[in-house]
Amino acid sequence: MATAYVENMTYLGEPAIRAGNERMEIILVPGWGSNLISIFHKEKNASLLRTPKSREEFWENPVLYGTPILFPPNRIGDGRFTFNGRTYHFDMNEKDKRNHLHGFLYREKWERVRAEVKNDRVVLETEIDSTVHPEIVRQFPHPFTVRMTYLLEGERIQQNATILNRDKEAFPWGLGYHTTFLFPEDACTFSLTAEKRWILNERLLPTGELEEIEDREQWQKGIRLKERALDDAFLSSASPRGRNEAVIANERLGLRITYWADENFKHWVVYNADGKQGFVCPEPYTWVTNAPHLDLPPSLTGLRVLAPGEQITIKTGISVSVDSRD
């Protein structure tokens, strides 16, 4: 008997889609940057993501709730860069460090394309057309489309992002997610398949140098983050056949959350404020912070170019498992 379902709802006054099955329930808010704002595990009666209590709280800092889409991800020094003779100017929204931060998609209204159950699998799709959003056109004057596809089956959610260049010119691109998981520091460990750490300056921009991770083995096995403030950028050990993932093990709930990304995501940023706020953001990026300004090979920085008419699909996902020892 089919157990998957999709229904319309209102989330804090905003039209939303609720979908689920016998194991999980998710809520997607297209009008809030296509934010997958909630993931709920039914057996454990547990919310996995940090969610706002009100619309006002959400808009105070929308990148710290749910799964914000960052395009481009993280910081661009001085809010500008030049590529192929064109200079791009982005809003300087981190004024104290003179940076642009996190792109322009997470604040915009996306359109719902479909929401259905197919073969007992939930399929949700949203889309944004850059040309109908003046704030996007002003900063990134290329016609392009991004389509998000969310697939829920059992305890696994897959997110596919498809970027289509509708321009007659090529453009540089980078995409990431600021996924904000609940993380009670006393009850959780965190691991990451990181190869090296980027050295950052006082503006949190990479210097171009990489360093060894002093406790790399522990990072890969699982570490405690209590009172360990992080806003660190890592080079992933991503490979087509290797693991590229962050794992949260919640001992109190007996849950293991694996956040995986395909080989297009060469970098992760890990942010947890001061290590006392009960959340952690493992952020998979296709390009590293400030990539257009780094005098390094694009194969390392992740700076990529989409040709006219070209499209690319990149994949991430969240899998949840119950600890059999619980």
CA distance readout (Å), 163 to 48, 271, 315: 27, 26, 12
Predicted pLDDT at 324: 67
Q: Residue ranges per domain, the chain?
A: 5-322
- Residue 81 reports pLDDT greater than 60: yes
Q: 326: pLDDT confidence band, cut at 50, 70 and 90?
A: very low
The mean-pLDDT minimum among 59-68, 180-189, 238-247 falls in 238-247
Work out the average pLDDT over 60-75.
98
Q: What is the mean pLDDT of the chain?
A: 96
What is the four-CA torsion angle of 292, 298, 300, 306, rounded to 10 degrees? Answer: 90
Region for residue 16 given its phi and psi (left: phi exceeds 0; alpha: psi -120 to 50; beta: otherwise): beta
- Residue 225 reports pLDDT greater than 90: yes
- Residue 180 reports pLDDT greater than 50: yes
Catalytic residue among 25, 155, 245, 283: 283
Which residues 6+ apart lie within 8 Å of 143 measured at CB?
Answer: 129, 130, 131, 166, 167
The closest of 244, 264, 245 to 304, measured between CA atoms, is 264
CA distance readout (Å), 205 to 68, 75, 106, 232, 298: 21, 7, 21, 10, 17
Which residues pair with residue 280 across a beta bridge?
181
- pLDDT tens per residue, range 152-171: 999 999 999 999 999 999 99
pTM of the model: 0.96
What percent of the chain clears pLDDT 70, i.e. is strictly above it?
97
Q: 237: pLDDT confidence band, cut at 50, 70 and 90?
A: confident
Phi, psi angle pair for 238, to nearest 5°: -60, 140
Contact indicator for 270, 283 with CB cutoff of 8 Å: yes
Contact indicator for 19, 122 with CB cutoff of 8 Å: yes
CA distance readout (Å), 131 to 50, 143, 208: 31, 6, 34
Q: 323: pLDDT confidence band, cut at 50, 70 and 90?
A: confident
DSSP, collapsed to helix, strand or coil, labels residue 308 as: coil
Predicted pLDDT at 1: 58
CATH says 5-322 is which class?
mainly beta
The closest of 192, 218, 34 to 112, measured between CA atoms, is 34
State the DSSP string of 74-141. Answer: SEEETTEEEETTEEEE----BGGGTEEESBSSTTSPPEEEEEEEETTEEEEEEEEEGGG-HHHHHHS-
Alpha carbons 114 and 270: distance in angstroms, whole number? 32
CA distance readout (Å), 282 to 117, 180, 233: 29, 7, 10
Preceding omega of 284 cis (within 30 degrees of 0): no
- Residue 39 reports pLDDT greater than 90: yes
Alpha carbons 137 and 104: distance in angstroms, whole number? 10
Catalytic residue among 100, 178, 267, 293: 178
Contact indicator for 198, 206 with CB cutoff of 8 Å: yes
178 is catalytic: yes
CA distance readout (Å), 27 to 4, 238, 268: 14, 29, 25
The closest of 219, 230, 299, 223 to 267, measured between CA atoms, is 299
Of 244 and 242, which is predicted with more confidence?
244
Work out the average pLDDT over 177-195.
97
For residue 135, give both structure tokens. 């704030």
- pLDDT tens per residue, range 255-283: 999 999 999 999 999 999 999 999 999 99
